[in-house]
Amino acid sequence: MFTGIIERIGVVKNINYEKENVHFTIASSFTNELKIDQSVSHDGCCLTVVDLANDEYIVTAIKETINKTNLSGWKIGTKVNLERCTKMNGRLDGHIVQGHVDTTGTCLNIEDENGSWKYTFKYNSKDVTVEKGSITINGISLTVLNSKENCFSVCIIPYTYENTNIHQIKAGDLVNLEFDIIGKYIAKLIDKRNN
């Protein structure tokens, strides 16, 4: 379980392919605080630490994870948003995030809002957003505005812009999306009742 509050930006140092699995080596300033078997959110995708050495650790992504996320586009040098799992005795500063990416979205455009930035994304799934509801983009807990069918925008403040990898996103780039868990349950219940 995560909150969508990014702790660090990690860097992909190595990519190793083993059958249909992909092992990513990540460098991070909090590697010395990690342990094997720990869950860490990588651009919103929950991956398990399988090895540690110095300031680097290794996580493994299976074929389904690669197919459903933007991890297939990672290269050596890619900057990745990182968040360790939530402590149950802490504040929930973002929203409830599972680290289970629902789909990818495409950045349509970025507008400079004279002190902040408005990013607009489109996606192709049955998932819905609601105005002023929560969305996770590359692991970042954000608030939806301009909610439309398969399209929404978010505004990014300077702190988030500077301390996450959102500043690297350009129009046409793929991002990982996790929709609000409460909204997903409500949509599923309504769909069941209608069918």
Q: What is the pLDDT of residue 182?
A: 87
**Domain tally for the chain?**
2
pLDDT given at position 91: 76
Q: 164 and 107 in one domain?
A: yes
pLDDT at residue 4 tops 80: yes
Q: What is the Cα–Cα distance from 123 to 63, expressed in whole angstroms? A: 21
User: Does residue 185 have a pLDDT over 90?
Assistant: no
**What is the per-residue pLDDT across 88-145, written as a single tens digit (0 to 9) for each?**
777 778 888 999 999 999 999 999 999 999 999 999 998 989 999 999 999 999 999 9
Q: Kindly state whether residue 15 falls inside one of the protein's structural domains.
A: yes
* Separation between Cα atoms, residue 98 and residue 56, nearest integer Å: 24
Q: Note the pLDDT tens digit of each residue in 10-48.
A: 999 999 999 999 999 999 999 999 999 999 999 999 999
d(CA 111, CA 154): 11
Q: What is the CATH number of the domain that holds 45?
A: 2.40.30.20
Residues 80, 108: one domain? no
* Residue 89 in domain: no
pLDDT recorded at residue 61: 98
Q: Note whether residue 187 is domain-resident.
A: yes
Structural domain that includes position 124: 103-194
